[in-house]
């Protein structure tokens, strides 16, 4: 499941390929993607691709002589992929749900399990997620401390909530807590100033390192070019139950929180 670094990778790799291109047609092949109203795209140009929380945000210029831009937030969910194909051929792949026919190529939305969504916005602000972006300058250690205060939830579950920080999933939440030396069982409001400072540093460092490696790849995530990220090599605890902790050599353990696996080292996350 793509988390923040994977979605950032997709946005960074798509941007130079599609920004500036005129849209000739959008073909939606899966009626599920038509749940909202799909606006007319012909005559618009792609003017930006960025990440908004865990979603890829594609910005379209106003139609000629028209007013107002248009934003499409693509949520990849479990298996969604955005693939760029150069040339005039209009490929039909298995599980193809939508095809943006652009000048010079096609942007394909392929999604085996069909959980991915399209949300159209005429206002950029409306496309913003509810939670704070963990890499945004606004997320200071102090702001993090304010967000954590008052929550009795365990800190692992807290990191997964999308209404506080957006974009973290199971892999990076485990890695961040290990890097910060904080037990996933601690309640969010029990963290002390020094621990919050370590948590803040770890969030930034782990996410930036993962982005540099183009994310982590498990069975079904590939970036916009179909290339696999390499952060998997750097994972310290995730999916490594029974192996040695890279920091203290203790044995990595797995526990289940909210029906999801948490990997941690009881030795250095006491």
Q: Residue 159, Cα to own-chain centre: how many angstroms?
A: 14
129 lines the binding site for Zn ion (CB under 5 A): no
- Looking at the DSSP assignment, which residues form a beta bridge with residue 25? 101
Question: Mask: binding to Zn ion, 22-61, rule CB under 5 A, as x and -?
Answer: ----------------------------------------
Per the annotation, the verdict on 2 as an active-site residue is: yes
Q: What is the C-alpha separation between 155 and 152, in angstroms, rounded?
A: 9
Tell me if 13 sits within 8 A of 225, measured CB to CB.
yes
Tell me if 161 sits within 8 A of 131, measured CB to CB.
yes
Per the annotation, the verdict on 260 as an active-site residue is: yes
- The three-state secondary structure class of 46 is strand
- Looking at the DSSP assignment, which residues form a beta bridge with residue 73? 57, 119
Give whichever of 62 and 250 is closer to Zn ion, judged by the CB atom: 250
14 lines the binding site for Zn ion (CB under 5 A): no
265 lines the binding site for Zn ion (CB under 5 A): yes
Report residue 267: phi and psi, to 5°: -65, -55
Q: What is the C-alpha separation between 91 and 61, in angstroms, rounded?
A: 26
According to CB under 5 A, which residues from 73 to 112 bind Zn ion?
A: none
268 lines the binding site for Zn ion (CB under 5 A): yes
181 lines the binding site for Zn ion (CB under 5 A): no
Q: CB neighbours of 147 closer than 8 A, spacing ≥ 6? A: 132, 164, 165
Radius of gyration from C-alpha coordinates of the chain: 20
Select the residue interacting with Zn ion from 250, 251, 254, 257 (CB under 5 A): 250
Question: Mask: binding to Zn ion, 210-249, rule CB under 5 A, as x and -?
Answer: -----------------------------------x-xx-
Closest residue to bound Zn ion by CB? 245
Per the annotation, the verdict on 249 as an active-site residue is: no
Per the annotation, the verdict on 99 as an active-site residue is: no
Sign of the torsion angle spanned by Cα atoms 219, 220, 225, 230 = negative
Give whichever of 79 and 183 is closer to Zn ion, judged by the CB atom: 183
266 lines the binding site for Zn ion (CB under 5 A): no
Residues marked active site are found at: 2-3, 54, 260
Contacting positions for Zn ion (CB under 5 A): 245, 247-248, 250, 265, 267-268
């Amino acid at each position: 499941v793509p988390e923040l670094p994977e979605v950032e990778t997709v946005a960074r790799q798509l941007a130079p390929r599609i920004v500036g291109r005129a849209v000739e047609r959008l073909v939606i092949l899966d009626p599920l993607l038509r749940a909202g109203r799909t606006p007319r795209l012909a005559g618009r140009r792609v003017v930006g691709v960025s990440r908004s929380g865990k979603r890829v945000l594609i910005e379209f210029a106003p139609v000629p002589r028209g007013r107002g831009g248009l934003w499409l937030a693509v949520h990849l969910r479990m298996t969604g992929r955005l693939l760029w194909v150069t040339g005039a051929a209009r490929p039909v792949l298995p599980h193809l749900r939508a095809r943006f026919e652009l000048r010079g190529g096609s942007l394909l939305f392929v999604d085996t399990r069909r959980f991915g969504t399209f949300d159209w916005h005429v206002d950029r602000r409306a496309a913003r997620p509810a939670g704070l972006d963990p890499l945004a300058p606004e997320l200071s250690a102090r702001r993090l401390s304010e967000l954590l205060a008052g929550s009795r939830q365990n800190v692992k579950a807290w990191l997964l909530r999308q209404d506080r920080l957006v974009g973290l999933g199971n892999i990076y939440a485990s890695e961040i807590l290990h890097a910060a030396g904080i037990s996933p069982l601690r309640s969010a409001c029990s963290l002390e100033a020094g621990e919050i400072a370590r948590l803040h540093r770890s969030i930034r460092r782990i996410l930036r390192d993962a982005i540099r490696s183009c994310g982590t790849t498990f069975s079904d995530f590939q970036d916009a070019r179909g290339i696999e990220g390499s952060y998997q090599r750097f994972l310290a605890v995730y999916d490594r139950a029974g192996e040695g902790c890279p920091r203290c050599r203790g044995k990595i353990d797995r526990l289940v929180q909210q029906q999801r696996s948490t990997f941690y080292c009881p030795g250095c996350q006491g």
